[in-house]
Homo-oligomer: A and B are copies of this chain.
Amino acid sequence: MLDPCRPDAFDRDFTLFYFAYRAFTGAADTALTEQGMGRAHHRILTFLAYSPGMSVGELCQALQLTKQAINGPLRKLGDEQLVRMTPGERDRRRKELHLTERGADLERKLHERQRALFAAALEEAGPEAAEGWRRILAPLAGRDWEAFTRSVEARRAEGKPQP
């Protein structure tokens, strides 16, 4: 099954990956540009939608950006009432970040099309398609992804008991 010399089929997958990612982010980016925002804002919204309650530092680590780079976009999102920042209960130095109603709405709007495309692919190709996608991407994403999801679930587990 494995051609050791050159499994050329993958060349196509690599360019497909590139196109898909660019379309994925590009659509949201152009929508945001009209509101004076960009890639960074998009990413923050995406991450907070999946993982509410992150701190600034965790966000920096997840996005691999410095705090200086994050500060501008994050402040703008706060000013626009899209992200709420509350001091942590146990450690008030931490800022816990959450989407506001408006922020969640915007995130939904940004990914409306992508969700629809995902859903359509599931309808057409069945849930195995989504499973296949995850089984390919997760190994590609590697340790960073594992660490990230672990931290997300830890936060979730911790938040549930005392809401």
**B47-A13 in contact (CB<8A):** no
**A138-B16 in contact (CB<8A):** yes
Chain A residues touching B, range = 35 or more
Cα of A91 to Cα of B18 in the assembled complex, Å: 29
Pick the residue among B16, B22, B114, B119 that contacts A64 (CB under 8 A).
B22
Q: Does A1 contact B (CB under 8 A)?
A: yes
Cα of A19 to Cα of B114 in the assembled complex, Å: 17
Cα of A131 to Cα of B46 in the assembled complex, Å: 26
Chain A residues within 8 Å of B, Cβ to Cβ: 1-2, 6-7, 10-24, 43, 46-47, 49-51, 64, 108, 111, 114-115, 117-125, 128-142, 144-145, 148-149
